[in-house]
Homo-oligomer: A and B are copies of this chain.
Amino acid sequence: MPQLSISRRTRSTPFTSRLSDAGVKAYTVYNHTLLATVFRSLEEDYHHLCSFVQVWDVSCERQIQIQGNDANKLVQWMTPRDISKAQSDQCFYLPLCDQHGKLMNDPVGIKIDEQTWWLSISDSDILLWAKGLAYGKDLDVTVTEPDVGPIAIQGPLADTLMARVFGDVVNDIRFFRYKRLPYQGHEFIVARSGWSKQGGYEVYIDDASLGQALWDELFEKGEDLHVGPGSPNLIERIESGLMSFGNDMDYRHTPLECGLDKFCNLDSDIDSMSLPALRAQRESGIEQRLVGIVAEDITHQPNTVQLMVDDQEVGEVTSHIMSAKYFAWIAFAFIDQKTLYDLSDSQKTLTIRTEQGDFEGRISELPFNFDQLGLTSKTA
């Protein structure tokens, strides 16, 4: 791995020096901000996350604040998901799409109040898109990037740890809901959410020094729970079917091609700029689809991967890893819709061509249903 040159442009966070003290090994850059990727090793970090509780610095998930009389209007315009019934304690996974139905980002949208949304963005500058739209249409909104980013508390012991810090009230927070909980005279937004399927919370840090106090308290009170530093884990997120904007899908794709249909309310009577294009695509049919792939015979992560049927390349792998739980190679890939039909109709199989040789692969819907695939956990 090459080294990363850090500068002001690759923004640090209130927690960067803590990660450094904790021995962070590698970073990526996400929304112009440092995001840790590895502490011990991908595998060790994975097993720790699935067994105990981790605290993640995901400050790089920047908040784009849309505030004003037209806030609901602008957010609805950007997403094909119907937000007309959103409550002011709810979070929503929101595909954002342009007039061609193409994905611009896939934030978690947090409804703060009737006039305010936060878009907790993935890696593209939605600040600029929202500003352009608002100015172009002369909307009554202010679009800013307040200095707010989440920390995530994830893992099976997250409930226990968070209750020690915030009280049992955290148990009452339902999935993708939030509460404002007091902390040292301040109130933090605490949501049950996070970019893993191990359960847990996100706390939106809008005060750096209180955030640092909270971080330290989580580590103190969690010692017997084996709390440790962590970050979104490549193995866990692929096993869990969590897609990453910029890796698995980007400006070239529509949510229908990514299996995000359930977050698109195409039959709602809402004013959203992508609706005509997405309805037309639903009508005419999609040409490619993001699916899962499993290959049990691959035992070591390959470097190069091609997807072949009858010696023709039929798609492109977007993310892949050795599953630490099932000891199988798992991947996300875009595959031609025609190939998907042919494969399910015929007895043909998908060939995974690697530098280690050819292997047989099976297509799976996302998220993976490992039971149905006949795979059993190899961990305790």
Contacts and interface: CB of A to CB of B under 8 A. Distances in A.
Nearest to A137: B136
Interface string A7-26: 11110000000001000111
Contact of A131 (B6, B129, B246): B129
Contacts of A124: 32, 125, 128
Interface residues of A, number: 49
Contacts of A185: none
Contacts of A123: 9, 32
A375 B90 CA distance: 61
Given A9-B123, A29-B28, A128-B104, A2 B4 contact: yes
B135 A128 contact: no
Contacts of A125: 124-125, 128-129
B10 A5 contact: no
A128 B145 CA distance: 15
Contact of A25 (B3, B20, B26, B28): B3
Contact of A7 (B25, B28, B133): B28
Contact of A9 (B20, B98, B135, B247): B247
A26 B27 CA distance: 13
Contacts of A128: 104, 124-126, 128-129, 132
A134 interface: yes
Given A123-B32, A128-B125, A128-B129, A4 B1 contact: yes
Contacts of A137: 136-137
Contact of A135 (B5, B127, B273): B273
Q: Max chain B CB contacts within 10 Å: which of A32, A99, A104, A251?
A: A32
Contact of A3 (B26, B133, B248, B319): B26
A334 to B, nearest CB: 12
Contact of A129 (B4, B32, B129): B129
Interface in A153-174: none
Contacts of A5: 1, 26-28, 37-38
A29 B26 contact: no
A177 to B, nearest CB: 29
Given A3-B4, A125-B124, A246 B32 contact: yes
A2 B1 CA distance: 10
A152 interface: no
Nearest to A316: B8
Which of A3, A99, A134, A319 has the largest number of chain B CB atoms within 10 A? A3
Interface of A: 1-10, 20, 24-30, 32, 37-38, 98-99, 104, 123-137, 145, 244-248, 251, 273, 318-319
Instruction: Return the 4 tightest CB-CB contacts between A and B, nearest first.
Output: A136-B136, A132-B132, A9-B246, A128-B129
